[in-house]
Structure 1
Amino acid sequence: MSKTPARIRLADAAFALFDERGYEHTTVDDIAERAGLGRTTFFRHYGSKEAVVFPDHDRLLDLIRDRLATSSHSTALAAVSDAVRLVLLHYLEEGGLARRRYALTSKVSALRDREIASVARYQRLFREFIAGWMGDPTESASLRAELMAAAVVAAHNHVLRRWLRGESADPAAELDEAMGEVLALFPAPSAQDGAQGTVVVAFRSGQDLDALLPSLRRLVEGGAGR
């Protein structure tokens, strides 16, 4: 009998079948049969066929919450960077499975929609944390929190996708550098006290991070100098 855990056997069987038959034409029964397991065992590990593709989002969200919860006001930005790094390291540990998921979601629109919804959950979590860290209920602060959360998620996704495409030899180091770029765009609240004028930051989310960051920096530096 195979010593490979049932959860892994099911995932391997599922992705093999997705490659052979396509996602839409693969059923839960097909996956269980290929793995040599029963339907009950499948549902003990995964709630649905889709959950085989995205099994860990809730756990990753909990990891992010736990890391952010351990921070103080002075260490909040370091906590954000650490939390983003935790997510990246999870995908790096998955290795080939993460790449198979990337290839699959690139082809199946329903899975791509699910992935976008999951990314929005990460962004909302960061936005809420950052807004609390800023401690400013004004609309301009709310916008800064939204922009910062979007930039944090964009930095992570940029580096992750480079690694998934085989373009990054050291994604962890790239993420650290990217997060340094992002956080430099958003001074801590105390650094903004007494500032004159208004800083306006604008970007299109469809842009790549490499194109986005220089534009954001110019806008922030230009506004701060008024």
Structure 2
Amino acid sequence: MSTRDRIVEAAFSLFEEQGFEATTVEDVAERAGVGRTTFFRHFRAKEDAVLPDHELVVAAVDARLAQDDALATRVAAAARLVLEHYLEEGERARVRYRLSTSVPAIRRSEAAGQRAYQRTFKTAIKAELGSAVEARLEAELVANAVITAHNFVLRRWLRGETEDPFTEFDAAMVRATQPLHPERLATHHPDAHAVEAARRALPVLEELLPALRRLSDH
């Protein structure tokens, strides 16, 4: 096990055992068998030791979005990479979720990661649809719908409310990316297409908003 992995394992264990506030960097370093200086070579603060490597996952999402298959397929597959990352973490993802409800620093970091994913999706969609105002609106709507749908399914899994997150996720992505499916895209003037596609996106987003509001209450 690498030094970094030992620090991460120590942080997760200690935060669960004695709480985030009661655990110091020195506690984590001692449990990991390293010095304080070594800890700070790997992490800026103790909360960073339990955060996902968002930069790595964003890079994988960006690479998937850059492929040349259908836009809706790319967006759904790229979002699935994010879900897979959390599910592969298993219990660690659930520990982080519990911590995020009481530790503002972790909650802020997770929110910043979500904004990075949202920007990545929006940029890819906009690159395909063009820079017209209506196209930018559609990119914004769909990118937010994708993140909302992903978070809804992920949090159901984190809370133990679903044993089949991938099936739920695939169904959610069909709805979130509906305006991007080829059969739904108009073939006439780009501006007119963007207006029509954005109009179609609104009901989809409206269906997801109640879930978003429920999530914001937790």
- Length-normalised TM-score, structure 2: 0.82
Q: Determine the structure 2 residue equivalent to 1:224.
A: none
Contact 1:123 1:150 in 2 (8 A): yes
- Which of 47, 51, 56 is 1:54 aligned to? 51
Q: Structure 1: which 5+ runs fail to align?
A: 212-226
Give the Cα–Cα distance (whole angstroms) in 1 for the partners of residues 184 and 170 of structure 2: 24
Q: 2:160 aligns to what?
A: 166
CA contact (8 A) 2:179 2:185 kept: no
Q: Alpha-carbon deviation of 1:39? A: 2.4
> Equivalent of 2:107, from 91, 104, 112?
112
Q: 1:209 to 1:108 in 2, by over 3 A?
A: closer
What one-letter code is carried by the residue in structure 2 that aligns with 1:31? V
Alpha-carbon offset, residue 76 of structure 1: 2.2
Unaligned runs of 5+ in 2: none
**1:127 correspondence with 2:122:** yes
- Structure 2 CA distance for aligned equivalents of residues 39 and 122 of structure 1: 32
Q: Deviations over 1:98-156 (max 9, x none)?
A: 00000000111222122112111110110011001112x22111111000000011111
Cα distance, 1:44 vs structure 2: 3.8
Are 2:97 and 1:94 equivalent residues in the alignment?
Answer: no
144, 155, 166: which is aligned to 2:149?
Answer: 155
Kindly tell me: are residues 209 and 105 of structure 1, through their superposed partners in 2, closer, same or farther at Cα, counting changes over 3 Å?
A: closer
Q: For 2:34, give the aligned amino acid.
A: L
Aligned residue identity for 1:10: I
CA RMSD of aligned residues (A): 2.7
Instruction: Choose 111-120 or 38-47, whichever is displaced more.
Output: 38-47
Quick one: distance in 2 between partners of 1:20 and 1:166?
21
1:79, 1:167 → 2: CA distance? 27
* 2:66 maps to 1:76: no
Contact 1:134/1:189 (<8 A) preserved: no
Identify the range of structure 1 (112-121 vs 178-187) with the bigger mean alpha-carbon deviation.
Answer: 178-187
The one-letter amino acid paired with 2:129 is M
Query: What is the aligned partner in structure 1 of residue 178 from structure 2?
Result: 184
Q: CA deviation at 1:182?
A: 1.4
TM-score by length of 1: 0.80
Cα 1:210/1:111, change in 2 over 3 Å? closer
Note if contact 2:72-2:180 (Cα within 8 Å) is conserved in structure 1.
no
- Contact map agreement 2:146 2:173 (CA 8 A) in 1: yes
Partner of 1:39 in structure 2?
A: 36
Partner of 1:218: none
Q: Separation in 2 of the partners of 1:55 and 1:172?
A: 20
Query: Using the alignment, how far apart are the partners of 1:173 and 1:204 within structure 2?
Result: 19
Residue among 26, 29, 33 paired with 2:26: 29
Shift of 1:186: 4.1
Structure 1 stretch displaced more, 33-42 or 161-170: 33-42
C-alpha separation between the residues in 2 aligned to 1:206 and 1:53? 29
Instruction: Identify if the C-alpha distance between structure 1 residues 193 and 56 changes in structure 2 by more than 3 Å, giving closer, same or farther.
Output: same
Greater relative CO (CA pairs within 8 A, separation 6+): 2
| CA contact 2:47–2:105 (8 Å) conserved in 1 | no
* Richer in helix (by share): 2
